[in-house]
Chains A and B, each alone.
Chain A
């Protein structure tokens, strides 16, 4: 392509560069700036330094509550989802008849994903006399007041996201199927038990996709909005009032854009720190095939 000049490729990438600057980079820096201002819609911004952050970290009890709930939600949802996705992928990864059917059935909830209709369905399913309680009472358990109880209300949202384990599972399954079968045969001939083979062969080879899924699911879980907004409206007692909900109400209901930006940056910082920890630690536990280390 030498005859076309060195900048040729640049022209194809240009739309991305413009989009990056206008819709990502400038807003990114803009929100950092806004977080240091008192900015109410209609009034314009006045610089107040670290005041928003000081308020958030010292005197805003709603933030403290919301932050704790968010951490709890992510810490429960992400490991459960990954473990479940890996477990099912492991079961699907054998010469089973009907594997295509099961893979499709498990993937369907992920397709419907964050749809409002699914959140609405959840609201009816976990209602006092909803599907879940009817099933519980019919097999002899007591009905649970899912939305009335802070512990169970958050769990309904976790269950909604667990129900959508399909996309993580499909990635695990693809990785499992790409593992060279001769490794297992060699292990069997050496007398290794199946569980030993799982920990010595399967798990190490899966660490790159576990890492990928972990990062993606974590970033996503920290931004959960539709679930609490539709299903529980943040209640009861703000037990499902996740940070994205707080940011939304601060920014688009109270139009306190400066303060909302500061909360968004705190959330961003938390996600970044955890992502960096994951990346930093990955060299100790993520195994890349062809790597010299073993």
Chain B
């Protein structure tokens, strides 16, 4: 009985924290949508952030996409060869890469690289009063730091996803070409025959959603980090964990919606 009484405040505190956290996240997201349409538009900073997020991620994305293409092709070959269906490899790979693996792999890498970087950067700016310094110099720090970064991740992730798709398909082609002697034209004809307009649209829309999630979660965690260096580390870490978790949930939801559309 006494044990139960001890537990109650802790449980109610946790529930309180959960709902107040939810309310604070909701108000942060609402503020983003309010501020994004209001001037001044920090276009120069948006371009700078797009460059940082896009160009600086290219080496990592290229390597990962290429490896994913080769590995997935090599892993799928034995199963298909059992049925004498290795000629379906380009179709299988294209569907897997465009529908799921390209967006998911890019988003997860971006969440790890950019989400943590955004969380740590904004968190350390908060701790060292740089955000306050912006505010007292009559600059809106939310617009300069949050809106620009969220826009940059939202715009750049779909572009990076398309690039990852291309690199993964090139990796896959190398493997198919080496083993099945398929020409590039034949490979890519099969690739494009297998994917539909819905696949591409859903991939782009999903990437926009992933990009927005990575940006907003990184900014939210950084902007609300507690004082001290420990808080900065925690902000960076939780930005990655939360973004990855949300990306998987979104992937699941988008998949259900797209499948429902496909059935119609």
Determine if chain A interacts with chain B: no
